[in-house]
Amino acid sequence: MLRNSQMWQRNWRIVTVAALGAVLAFVGSFLVEPTFEASTRLLIHGRDATFLSSTGQDLTTQPGVVDSQLSQSLAGTYAGIATSRSVATAVVDELHLDAPSRSDGLVSTLAKGFAWAYRCGRAFVTSGYCADVDPYEKAVTEVQEGTAVQPLATNAGATAGQGSSYVLEITSSGHSPQEAKEVTDAVAAELVATSQARYSEDAQRSLKALQAQLAAAGKDVSAASTALATYQTENGISASDGKLALSAETYESLRSDLLKAQAEEADLRAQLVSIASSLSTIPRSAQSRQRIITGRSTTQLDSSNANTVYNDLLTQQRTTQASLDGQVARVRQLTEAVDGAAPISNNAKLAGMTGLESQLELAQKNQADLAASVQQARTSQAQGPVGLTRIDTAAEPPYPSEPKRYIYLALGLLLGALAGAGLTMWAKRHDPDAVDVEDGDPLDPRDPGDEARDPDLLDELAGSGAGQPVTQWPAPARAEVLTGAAPSGNGHHAPTTAPEPRQADGTT
């Protein structure tokens, strides 16, 4: 019990000041304007996010789009749009966040003053001056900085924490629960509206470009038709003459095939000449001689075998001859076909008309394709965008996210404890009635331990004694237990006694 009392006498300042600091810091945290956070979710229709395509087409037609990367790309794109200045400006204009606060209470006034002092102090330390902030710009900046958009990650399994889903979570902040909810819903609605507007702009731009291309294709078809009609009129080609163009093309094809067949025939004849020349220099059989020696006898065997090289060339000659015979027959047939198909007198004119007809057919095909694309673009524009849809609406948060009052409480407790420790050390050094930290009695200059622990205390007490002498007590001698008389010089034992203490003037 005595020891607890001594510890309280030594540390009561630390405990008191620490508790006071914690209370002041906790109360001061109410001067900081609270911040509330609310969140809502949107669903991304990945394959229908047509606003990303400059041609107004959905992403299924875009090369290089991978499903595993599509959600991250779309989430990053939508996050950039949601945190843009245009969205923040629209939210501020809709909710009138730049309007002055109607709260005129003492706490509100102190909070505003504390916020102004913190902002200007930080700005002065950072930039050297404190600039005035426009309320509208301040509200826009708060919306931008307080909005966070990210894909919703899984909370379990091997993919926990990886945001690769098509669910987009929007989190926004406000100075009241209602304001946080309204800002979050407004940001989500503005993001959906921006996506729809961007889709409408892209679809309209694509439709106009396709319509312009369709008009140009129509002009090409008209020009090709005019050129064909003019050519027929200038060359006196009637509709019945146009049917003879097929005969002209057939005749030209026959002549071309005949020339190719004649060239192949000449090549085969050249190959036969080369093979015959090789056969004339190679013998038909190959002679071999083998000599066998066994002991004293010697046996010699002579053999004649067919030459394999000669046989291979002979086979190749027969194959080439068969091909040549077939090619000669084909040339004969093509020659008879060409001789039997008399050339038409106006073949050259009909061939020119055929080229113009081909150009007209290409122009008409291009026009038909563009017409189908225009119709598809009109259908997509009529259906409307489906890039983003709302899943839910934000709820009013019950508690603020900032400030964290337990942080203020812990910080005040720490600073108070440090201040109390410093105050205790200062009081111990300057208060003559301070309690000794070892024996619990007041500091006494006559106590050798106190004098050793505080050598300046004697001088202070001497200076405050108004000229009175200060009594110094010598260190007490350790008492000895008398077990007998101490031996004297003559061998006799004499009793030993402790010396009497003397005062400063020498008297006992």
Tens digit of pLDDT for each residue in 262-281? 899 999 999 989 888 888 88
What pLDDT, on a 0 to 100 scale, did the predictor assign at position 75? 80
**pLDDT confidence of 362, banded at 50, 70, 90?**
very high
pLDDT in tens, 166-218: 788 999 999 889 999 999 999 999 998 888 888 788 888 888 888 999 999 99
Q: Are 170 and 151 in contact (CB under 8 A)?
A: no
Averaged pLDDT, 475-490: 45
Asked whether the predicted pLDDT for residue 244 surpasses 90, the reply is no
At residue 260, what are phi and psi to the nearest 5 degrees?
-65, -40
What pLDDT, on a 0 to 100 scale, did the predictor assign at position 37? 93
What pLDDT, on a 0 to 100 scale, did the predictor assign at position 235? 77
Q: Are 432 and 67 in contact (CB under 8 A)?
A: no
Q: Are 403 and 32 in contact (CB under 8 A)?
A: yes
Q: Is 8 exposed, middle or buried (0-12, 13-18, 19+ CB in 10 A)?
A: exposed
What pLDDT, on a 0 to 100 scale, did the predictor assign at position 181? 94
Length of the chain: 508
**pLDDT confidence of 437, banded at 50, 70, 90?**
very low
What pLDDT, on a 0 to 100 scale, did the predictor assign at position 88? 93
What pLDDT, on a 0 to 100 scale, did the predictor assign at position 36? 92
189 versus 449: the higher-pLDDT residue is 189
Domains and CATH numbers, the chain: 10-209+385-409 (no CATH), 245-343 (1.10.287.370), 431-472 (no CATH)
What is the residue-wise DSSP string for 150-191?
A: EEPPBSSSTTBT---SSEEEEEEEESSHHHHHHHHHHHHHHH
Helix, strand or coil for residue 287?
Answer: strand
Number of Cβ atoms within 10 Å of the Cβ of 377: 21
Averaged pLDDT, 57-65: 50
Averaged pLDDT, 394-405: 88
Mean residue pLDDT of the chain comes to 74
What pLDDT, on a 0 to 100 scale, did the predictor assign at position 251? 63
Asked whether the predicted pLDDT for residue 107 surpasses 50, the reply is yes
Asked whether the predicted pLDDT for residue 483 surpasses 90, the reply is no
Residue 420 tokens read as 């109390």
The least confident of 110-124, 346-360, 482-496 is: 482-496
Q: Are 401 and 173 in contact (CB under 8 A)?
A: yes
Cα 448 from Cα 444, distance rounded (Å): 9
Asked whether the predicted pLDDT for residue 62 surpasses 60, the reply is no
Averaged pLDDT, 363-372: 92
Asked whether the predicted pLDDT for residue 258 surpasses 60, the reply is yes
The least confident of 135-144, 148-157, 201-210, 459-468 is: 459-468
Cα 90 from Cα 110, distance rounded (Å): 31
What is the residue-wise DSSP string for 227-278?
A: HHHHHHHHTT--HHHHHTHHHHHHHHHHHHHHHHHHHHHHHHHHHHHHHHHH
- pTM score, whole prediction: 0.53
Beta strands in 67-178 (DSSP E): 148-151, 167-174
What angle, 0 to 180 degrees and rounded to 10, lies between the N-to-C axes of helices 2-28 and 405-430? 130
pLDDT in tens, 285-314: 766 666 767 766 777 666 667 778 888 888
Using alpha carbons, select from 358, 357, 346, 359 the residue that is nearest to residue 248.
346
What pLDDT, on a 0 to 100 scale, did the predictor assign at position 100? 74
pLDDT in tens, 47-56: 444 444 444 4
Beta strands in 66-147 (DSSP E): none
Q: Are 415 and 11 in contact (CB under 8 A)?
A: no
